[in-house]
Amino acid sequence: MGIIEDKLKLLPESSGVYVMLSKEGQVIYVGKAKNLKNRVRQYFHASIKAEKVMAMVKNVADFYYIKAPTETDALSLENNLIKKHKPRYNILLKDDKTYPYIKVNLKEDFPYFKVTRKLLKDGAKYFGPYMGGVNAYDLLDTINLAFSVRPCQKKLKIGKPLKPCLNHHIGRCSGICAELVSQKEYLKRVKLAIDFLNGDTLETEKLLKEKMMAFAQREEFEQALIYKEKLLGLEKVKIKRLTSLNRFLNADVLAIQNNGIYSAVNLLMIRNGRMLGGKNYAFNSGTDNSEILSEFITRYYVEGADFPQEIITTFKLADYNLLTNYFKEKLNEQINFVFPKKGVKHQLCLMAEENAKEHLEVCINKIKHKEDMTVKAIESLKELLGLQNLPKRIECFDISNVSGVDKVASMVVFENGEPAKKEYRRFKIKTVEGANDYKSLQEVLYRRLERLKTDSEKFGKPDLIVIDGGKGQLSSVKSVFDEYKISDIDLISLAEKQEEIYTLKSNVPVVLSKSDYRLRLLIRLRDEAHRFAISYFKSLHSKNALSSVLDRIEGLGKVKIKALLNEFKDISGIISATKEQLTKVEGIGDVLAEQIISTFVKEGLKNK
């Protein structure tokens, strides 16, 4: 505590960010402060501290701080440092499943609706997100059935009609591409579809019922049944409307439950007055509820997120003004914080609170188990294998090929014991002839270490590299380490047959029980590398096989294949193309288009 006590005396009284370090020099917590001196001293001098805070303070060997001009700047800097270091004692939200939206771009001559999981500031209208039993694709299908708006995404221009496709013939499209309806009439249909997505279901019900009855009278009962199912599906959408709420309300309701060690947050989403569903988050953080919820909000609402107009919470947040300024200045979003004490919004808060309480009770054991399998596993692994680094970032490499054909390698990354999928990389083996795993591993490690040398910021430095294989594979990679004079990255291998761990310190492998959570971490890592390599190999092998099919079609040379790929993006696009679509490509006439299709049929790649 000597170093820390000396540093505490020198702390300024300005706003800024403080960073807590472990004895290994790892960042274990990042916090912001209006007054750095008062805030940091609390950790070491306050007599009453939450159990989780006490556990963190025991692991603090040092700290440093960065002054910031304003509290808002400190909040922004805190966010950036947490994203960079992923400290153990901060709230770390994994990239949540992005819920789907329905998008329409009204700037187009003939707008179409599509499902997307990305919110872009492109001037288009977005509806959603859809969750809680409401399926975005079902809604899209309902729109197409009720209003006959086009389901395709072709580029259409006024005065350039095309032949109507199958969707028009089966009543799913008005045939706007063939100009069978006017643009004015088509845009009316688009407007009705937008009204439906905004919550007005009356016109949609009326149209679906009319079409259902028409099919039933013509004794086309299968088609009538489709419309009946869509009508039943509308009930789900109607149920989600909260009649006591303003239909234009866009809000997220947040509640927290905390037992001093673990916390759970429930988030209810309301868009256009409809309850779309909820999400639950649990984490091993047990400080002040207001602090946790504020930190959750800054982690959850990032650039490009679906921002509500209001955030409703069960109690008044201590720094809601700071959060309001942060959203406005750093993310260009105007969000109001609401703390209701009565009425329907208060009832929503109570509902969220009950959900959070239930989720915390259910998840406590899961959180403990997850901590054992991740953070505690990497801490214990360092001790078990005598590693020089705490293996916060582990990279694992695997080779995949069949008889030396289409050789590929994978690199998967685990951070804090969990997959960091955005960091995964794939490699095509370029210099090795035949099936030689040793040489292939050496090539990949040469390329990885070279990239580390030239671009370490973009491709983070690993604490530990794991090789899929035994002593031989480990030795082959060690020679690359020696050549690059790498001494500050740990290196081990995991042999699949007996799950033996080989290190550079002994010829005798480390053998653990199959139930040991340290071994299970390494197995998860190795299996993920294997899966990623196999998926790349299959993809590459499949593309090469399909490319050879194109090469065998008489009259289809490199220029025409390139033109096809430019038009349809990939092989699967060419396979699914119709004769009409193929003939639009320069150099592809009727005869050649028919030949392409018949070849795909013969190869079993396309149905007749």
Residue 347 makes CB contacts below 8 A (sequence gap 6+) with none
Lowest mean per-residue pLDDT among 159-168, 303-312, 509-518:
159-168
The whole-number pLDDT of residue 542 equals: 53
Per CATH, the architecture of 552-602 is what?
Orthogonal Bundle (1.10)
The whole-number pLDDT of residue 94 equals: 64
The whole-number pLDDT of residue 549 equals: 67
Structure tokens at 481: 């380490």
Burial class (CB in 10 A: 0-12, 13-18, 19+), 398: buried
Average pLDDT over residues 573-597: 85
Q: Which helix (H) or strand (E) holds 109?
A: none
Structure tokens at 12: 């300024």
Could you tell me the CA-to-CA distances from 211 to 51, 91, 423 in Å, in that order?
Answer: 64, 52, 50
Percent of residues, the chain, with pLDDT higher than 70: 88
The whole-number pLDDT of residue 604 equals: 62
First CA to last CA across the chain, in angstroms? Answer: 77
Confidence of residue 239 (pLDDT cuts 50, 70, 90): very low
Give the CATH fold of the 379-537 domain: Nucleotidyltransferase; domain 5 (3.30.420)
Query: Per residue in 385-416, pLDDT tens?
Result: 999 999 999 999 988 865 445 678 889 999 98
Q: Is 212 helix (H, G, I), strand (E, B) or coil?
A: helix
Percent of residues, the chain, with pLDDT higher than 90: 30
Query: Per residue in 547-564, pLDDT tens?
Result: 566 777 878 887 888 888
Q: Which of 268, 274, 269, 266 is nearest to 244 (CA)?
A: 274
Residue 318 Rama label (left phi>0; alpha psi -120 to 50; beta): alpha
The whole-number pLDDT of residue 401 equals: 63
Q: Is 283 helix (H, G, I), strand (E, B) or coil?
A: strand
The whole-number pLDDT of residue 243 equals: 46
Query: Per residue in 283-311, pLDDT tens?
Result: 877 668 898 999 999 989 887 777 899 99
Confidence of residue 496 (pLDDT cuts 50, 70, 90): confident
Place of tokens 């002054």: 67
Q: Which CATH superfamily is domain 2-85 in?
A: GIY-YIG endonuclease (3.40.1440.10)
Do the first three CATH levels of 251-373 and 379-537 match, i.e. the same topology? yes
Please report, for the chain, the start and end positions of each structural domain, with discontinuous segments joined by +. 2-85, 101-239, 251-373, 379-537, 552-602
In contact, 338 and 310? CB cutoff 8 Å:
yes
Average pLDDT over residues 133-159: 80
Residue 531 has pLDDT above 70, yes or no: yes
Q: Which of 517, 479, 475, 516 is nearest to 492 (CA)?
A: 475
Q: Does domain 251-373 have CATH number 1.50.10?
A: no
Q: Rounded to whole angstroms, how far apart are CA atoms 233 and 130?
A: 14
Q: Is 88 helix (H, G, I), strand (E, B) or coil?
A: coil
Query: Per residue in 322-342, pLDDT tens?
Result: 999 999 998 889 999 999 998
Backbone phi, psi, residue 356, to 5°: -65, -40
Query: Per residue in 366-388, pLDDT tens?
Result: 878 888 888 889 999 999 999 99
Q: Rounded to whole angstroms, how far apart are CA atoms 279 and 363?
A: 14
* Contacts for 152-155: CB closer than 8 Å, 24+ residues apart: 152/112, 152/177, 153/112, 153/114
Average pLDDT over residues 34-46: 89
Buried b (16+ CB within 10 A) or exposed e, 171-203: ebbbbbbebeeeeeebbebbebbbebbbbebee
Q: Which helix (H) or strand (E) holds 566?
A: helix 558-568
Residue 104's beta-bridge partner residues?
113, 125
The whole-number pLDDT of residue 436 equals: 82
In contact, 84 and 338? CB cutoff 8 Å:
no
Q: Rounded to whole angstroms, how far apart are CA atoms 256 and 561?
A: 58
